[in-house]
C-alpha cells in the first residue's frame, strides 16, 4: 500500500521545472506546429530559394530547432500548465505585433543615430546600463537581448539569469528598455503579464556595474 501511494504521488506530481502541455509530458501539437510554420516561413523569406536541396536543408534545420527547443515556442504561464490552440494563435498575433514594433523602432533609431553623428548639437554620451527583467521564459529573455542589439544605439554586452548589461550611445537611445516598452511587447508572446519598468543602474564602465 505504501509503495503504491508513493508511485501515485510521483505520477501526479510530475517532474518539477519541466514545461509540459499535458500529464504525459509530451509537447503540445499546436505549439510544435506553430514553431515549424514560423521557422519555415522565416527560412523561406531569408533564403528566397524554393529548390529541393534548400527544402531539404530547411526541413533538417527546422527539425533540429524543434528538437532542441522545449518551449515549442511559447512557454506556459507556469510549469506544467497546458496552452490550447487559441492561446497559441494569440501568441502568434503578439509575435506579429512585436515584429512590427521592432521594425519601426529600428527605423527610428537609425534616424536618431544618424542625426547624433552628423549634427554637433546632438549629444553622444556612451554609457553602460544594467537592469533585470521579470520575463521568465528563456527564449523571451534572449529575444529581449537580441532586440536591444538589433536596435541602433544599443548593444547587449552580457546577459545572465535575467540580468542584462547593455552599452548605449546615449541614455536616451535606451528609452524602449528603460520604459519597459520592449519587455511589454515580448512578454505576451510567451503568455506572461505586464512588465514593470526596470530599475536601471548606469555607469561609464562595465566593470563598476559587474562588481
Q: How many CB atoms lie within 10 A of CB 31?
A: 26
Spatial strand order in the sheet of 127-132: 154-160, 163-168, 127-132, 201-203
If we measure between CA atoms, which residue out of 155, 167, 168, 165 comes closest to residue 116? 168
* Residue-level pLDDT at 8: 44
Band of residue 21 on the pLDDT scale cut at 50, 70, 90:
very low
For the chain, give the mean pLDDT: 79
* Residue-level pLDDT at 102: 92
- Over residues 126-151, the mean pLDDT reads 91
pLDDT reading at 88 higher than 90 = no
19-33, 152-166, 187-201: least confident range = 19-33
- Over residues 3-22, the mean pLDDT reads 42
* Residue-level pLDDT at 64: 87
* Residue-level pLDDT at 96: 87
Q: How many CB atoms lie within 10 A of CB 104?
A: 10
- Over residues 129-139, the mean pLDDT reads 91
Using CA atoms, how far residue 60 sits from 70, 73, 182, in Å, is: 17, 17, 32
* Contact indicator for 145, 156 with CB cutoff of 8 Å: yes
Say which residues have a Cβ less than 8 Å from residue 173's Cβ, sequence separation at least 6: 109, 112, 113, 152, 153, 154
Q: Tell which wins on pLDDT, 105 or 26.
A: 105
Amino acid at each position: 500500500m505504501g509503495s503504491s501511494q508513493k508511485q501515485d504521488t510521483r505520477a501526479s506530481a510530475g517532474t518539477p521545472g519541466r514545461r509540459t502541455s499535458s500529464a504525459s509530458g509530451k509537447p503540445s501539437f499546436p505549439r510544435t506546429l506553430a514553431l515549424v510554420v514560423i521557422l519555415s516561413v522565416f527560412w523561406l523569406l531569408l533564403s528566397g530559394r524554393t529548390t529541393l536541396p534548400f527544402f531539404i536543408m530547411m526541413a533538417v534545420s527546422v527539425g533540429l530547432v524543434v528538437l532542441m527547443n522545449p518551449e515549442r515556442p511559447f512557454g506556459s504561464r507556469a510549469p506544467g500548465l497546458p496552452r490550447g490552440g487559441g492561446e497559441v494563435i494569440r501568441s502568434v498575433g503578439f509575435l506579429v505585433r512585436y515584429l512590427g514594433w521592432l521594425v519601426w523602432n529600428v527605423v527610428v533609431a537609425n534616424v536618431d543615430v544618424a542625426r547624433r553623428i552628423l549634427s554637433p548639437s546632438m549629444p553622444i554620451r556612451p554609457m553602460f546600463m544594467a537592469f533585470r527583467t521579470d520575463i521568465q521564459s528563456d527564449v523571451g529573455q534572449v529575444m529581449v537581448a537580441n532586440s536591444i542589439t538589433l536596435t541602433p544605439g544599443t548593444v547587449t554586452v552580457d546577459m545572465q539569469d535575467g540580468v542584462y548589461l547593455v552599452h548605449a550611445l546615449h541614455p536616451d537611445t535606451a528609452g524602449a528598455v528603460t520604459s519597459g516598452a520592449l519587455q511589454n511587447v515580448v512578454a505576451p508572446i510567451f503568455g506572461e503579464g505586464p512588465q514593470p519598468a526596470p530599475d536601471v543602474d548606469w555607469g561609464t564602465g562595465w566593470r563598476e556595474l559587474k562588481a
